[in-house]
Structure 1
Amino acid sequence: MNEDREVLKLVGARIRALRKERGYSQESLGEKGGFHFSYIGQIERGEKNVSLVNLAKIAESLDVNLIQLFAYVEEQFHFTESEIVIQEIVAMLREASPDSIHLVKNVIREILK
């Protein structure tokens, strides 16, 4: 049962981090997803066992893929340092322009030759 609560807290913390990165309040995120701001707060504190359907709505409201709500797993599964760096690079690329992404691809291709 304690492990269940830990998962809820990790997902909630991830949602809070993504919300804050985007400059959303709990109220604005709730409005985007069709939820009351207090429900968002309960999710972020790990107090609510949120359904997959609601998680999908929250992910859409945050403009992320559903899988990104579970990015906390690196802490739980002890990814290697290289895997964590790759995740960080991917996160940066998600925010980059198409031209920047193309440039990064070419640089990486040259480095790995």
Structure 2
Amino acid sequence: MMDNSVLKRIGQRVRDLRKERNLSQEQLGELAGVHFSYIGGLERGQKNISLLNLDKIAQSLDVPLSELFLYGRHLKRTIKSGKEELINEIHESLMSLNESDLKKLQRLIEELFTK
């Protein structure tokens, strides 16, 4: 079974950007030249979107394509606690690590917190 977590994160990022611009799914779909139901499926992580369509959506949102991949940096701005903010900062830092460094960090965390 395919892990579609990246689709969900991209979809959530598109939704957040669309809402920041006060656009409906219909309006964004019209701007991007796709059906509004396609936007809905994308936002729910149900559509494996092509790069061409993703680029059209980024242009319609007036952001560079890379902005859609920055979902870790732009988690909802309604952060209510210091704990959530700290988790978001840690998440952002982890996203820049390679797999080898992540495995080292995992071993360190296990060593620190399982005793």
TM norm structure 1: 0.64
Q: Indicate the residue corresponding to 2:49 in structure 1.
A: 50
Tell me the residue number matched to 1:28: 27
Q: Is the partner of 2:15 in helix, strand or coil? A: helix
Which amino acid is 1:18 matched to? Answer: L
1:79 corresponds in structure 2 to 92
Hey, what's the Cα distance between the residues in 2 that align with 1:27 and 1:61?
12
Report the Cα offset of residue 78 of structure 1: 2.4
**What fraction of aligned residue pairs are identical, expressed as a percent?**
59
Q: Deviations over 1:2-24 (max 9, x none)?
A: 53x10000000000000000000
Q: Runs of at least 4 residues of structure 1 off by over 4 A?
A: none
Q: How far apart are residue 79 of structure 1 and its match?
A: 2.6
Structure 2 gap ranges (5+): 74-87, 94-115
Q: Distance in 2 between matches of 1:51 and 1:73?
A: 21
Equivalent in the alignment of 1:38: 37
What amino acid is the match of 2:28?
A: L
Task: State the secondary structure of the residue aligned to 1:79.
Answer: helix
The amino acid of 2:5's aligned partner reads E
Scaled by the length of structure 2, the TM-score of the pair is: 0.63
Note the alpha carbon deviations across 1:21-57, whole angstroms, 9 max, x for none.
0000000000000011000000000000000000000
- Which amino acid in the other structure matches residue 78 of structure 1? H
- Give CA deviations for 1:35-87 in whole Å, capped at 9, x if unaligned: 11000000000000000000000000000000000111456x8234xxxxxxx
**CA distance, structure 2, for counterparts of residue 79 and residue 39 of structure 1:** 29
Q: What is the count of residue pairs matched by the alignment?
A: 79
Query: Which residue of structure 2 aligns with residue 65 of structure 1?
Result: 64
